[in-house]
């Protein structure tokens, strides 16, 4: 039997099981609870908000079946399966899911950036009264107009000039400024926390004695390994001297340290990827298929 037919068969069986369980109400449903909210400052004003509710809570006051949440759950599950389908080869379903993910992410980041950055920082500084009366009612009354905000406003507009068919060079000025500031900004931080800080972290006693005066051989070995590892790795990257004799032997140790570090990195990456897969499978088995119930949401 060809692999494609086996896979199609498995998918058909799974699809039929899902169809049966859905039709009998045994999976893929979400519930919400209506909660009435009233601000302390104006108790007469009330509105409703909807919170997640567990299926076992259905029948309780305010708890009802939620079409929107159920739809969201199914879209989420089907998109997860669509992404998994890449394992069988590139296909249109995967591409669709990928495009949706990218589009939603970009849209979300843009909206969040606009509201929190442009409105929350730029416009709140330039026109605090207008923002207080419209979008940001909680803006402190003592906040005054910060005319310095005109600078980022102008720079931002210059940056958008890139989209214009003429005068695109104008956008180079804010980009140059941004790169210059960022480079200087980060250089200082790296110099202090990573360069000087890491040198300080490497200056440790090789013979460590505990508070009671006894020799702490575990910590001593740890420190010795750390210092040896740093020095041998640095020697490996020291190309101004020919790697022969002692330098060659020390740099070989450096290679071993690097290989062990890469191994640790690979192991940690594997752990991370398995964790992500486990989280998605738990979502499918618990939230969607209702095969497990670790949080007692249905019983």
Interface residues with other proteins (CB under 8 A) are 3, 6-7, 51-52, 87-88, 105, 108-109, 112-113, 116-117, 120-121, 124, 135-140, 142-143, 185-186, 189-190, 192-194, 197-198, 200-201, 261, 264-265, 268-272, 274-282, 285, 291-292, 294-296
Enumerate residues 6+ apart whose C-beta is below 8 A from 185: none
| Residue 189, Cβ density class (10 Å: 0-12 exposed, 13-18 middle, ≥19 buried) | exposed
Enumerate residues 6+ apart whose C-beta is below 8 A from 228: 253
CB of 191 to other proteins, least distance (A): 10
Beta carbon nearer to other proteins, 45 or 87: 87
The answer to whether the beta carbons of residues 47 and 37 sit under 8 Å apart is yes
Beta carbon nearer to other proteins, 91 or 269: 269
CB of 75 to other proteins, least distance (A): 14
CB of 189 to other proteins, least distance (A): 4
Beta carbon nearer to other proteins, 3 or 165: 3
Torsion angle of C-alpha atoms 156, 157, 163, 166, degrees rounded to 10: -130
User: How far is CA 35 from each of CA 57, 67, 69, 83, 286, rounded to the nearest angstrom?
Assistant: 14, 17, 16, 36, 25
**Cβ neighbours of 275 (radius 10 Å):** 9
Please state, in angstroms and rounded to a whole number, the distance separating the CA atoms of residues 249 and 138.
66
- Of 284, 295, 296, which Cα lies nearest the Cα of 21? 284
CA 167, distance to chain mean position in Å, is 37
CB of 169 to other proteins, least distance (A): 26
Beta carbon nearer to other proteins, 44 or 142: 142
Please state, in angstroms and rounded to a whole number, the distance separating the CA atoms of residues 232 and 63.
65
Beta carbon nearer to other proteins, 150 or 281: 281
CB of 168 to other proteins, least distance (A): 25
The answer to whether the beta carbons of residues 69 and 32 sit under 8 Å apart is yes
CB of 214 to other proteins, least distance (A): 19
Please state, in angstroms and rounded to a whole number, the distance separating the CA atoms of residues 50 and 70.
14
Beta carbon nearer to other proteins, 63 or 124: 124
Beta carbon nearer to other proteins, 189 or 206: 189
CB of 25 to other proteins, least distance (A): 21
CB of 106 to other proteins, least distance (A): 11
Beta carbon nearer to other proteins, 164 or 198: 198
């Amino acid at each position: 039997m060809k692999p494609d037919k086996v896979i199609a068969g498995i998918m058909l069986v799974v699809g039929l099981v899902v169809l049966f369980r859905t039709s009998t109400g045994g999976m893929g449903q979400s519930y919400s609870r209506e909660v009435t909210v009233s601000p302390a400052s104006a108790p007469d004003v009330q509105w409703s908000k909807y919170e997640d509710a567990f299926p076992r809570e259905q029948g309780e006051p305010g708890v009802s079946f939620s079409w929107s949440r159920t739809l969201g759950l199914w879209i989420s599950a089907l998109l997860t399966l669509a992404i998994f389908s890449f394992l069988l080869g590139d296909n249109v379903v995967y591409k669709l899911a990928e495009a949706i993910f990218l589009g939603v992410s970009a849209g979300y980041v843009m909206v969040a950036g606009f509201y929190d950055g442009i409105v929350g920082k730029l416009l709140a500084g330039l026109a605090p009264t207008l923002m207080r009366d419209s979008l940001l009612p909680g803006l402190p009354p003592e906040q005054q107009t910060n005319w310095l905000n005109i600078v980022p406003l102008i720079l931002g507009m210059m940056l958008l000039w890139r989209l214009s068919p003429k005068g695109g060079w104008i956008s180079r000025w804010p980009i140059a400024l941004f790169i210059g500031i960022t480079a200087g900004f980060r250089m200082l931080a790296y110099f202090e926390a990573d360069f000087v800080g890491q040198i300080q972290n490497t200056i440790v006693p090789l013979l460590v004695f505990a508070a009671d005066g006894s020799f702490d051989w575990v910590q001593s070995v740890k420190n010795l390994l750390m210092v040896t590892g740093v020095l041998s790795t640095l020697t490996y990257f020291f190309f101004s001297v020919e790697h022969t004799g002692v330098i060659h032997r020390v740099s070989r140790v450096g290679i071993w340290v690097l290989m062990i570090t890469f191994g640790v990195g690979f192991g940690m990456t594997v752990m991370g990827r398995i964790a992500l897969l486990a989280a998605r499978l738990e979502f499918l088995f618990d939230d969607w298929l209702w095969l497990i119930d670790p949080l007692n949401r249905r019983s």
